[in-house]
Amino acid sequence: LAKTTQPISMDSYEGQEVNITCSHNNIATNDYITWYQQFPSQGPRFIIQGYKTKVTNEVASLFIPADRKSSTLSLPRVSLSDTAVYYCLVGDVRTYKYIFGTGTRLKVLA
């Protein structure tokens, strides 16, 4: 199972774009990259998932370079309510056997 490395914490201001990069050097061919958001004492919530290139949904974008050894979650115009821990996971979506890292603690300031 691929291990991921993310920055431990980040600070940002309301209205700014936030980019969180995740390193996953030993990603396997069948692995997808998935990002989750977690608030205190709640379960992680799915944000976005991708395999390669760029994926965009209503809340975020995910950029994956051709070698797939890293990925970047982009949150446009963050608000105070985006303060949370963000986890990057790499795993085979057919097996659901994911390893969580320590995540990135994002703090959005007014």
Q: Which residues bind other proteins (CB under 8 A)?
A: 32, 34, 36, 41-46, 49, 87, 89, 93, 95-103
Please, which residue, 16 or 57, has the CB nearer to other proteins?
Answer: 57
- DSSP readout, 72-100? EEEESS--GGG-EEEEEEEEETTT-----
Closest separation between CB of residue 94 and other proteins, Å?
9
Chain-centroid distance of CA 103 in Å reads 8
Please, which residue, 45 or 77, has the CB nearer to other proteins?
Answer: 45
Closest separation between CB of residue 44 and other proteins, Å?
5
Closest separation between CB of residue 100 and other proteins, Å?
4
Beta-carbon contacts of residue 85 (< 8 Å; ≥ 6 apart): 37, 38, 103, 104, 105, 106
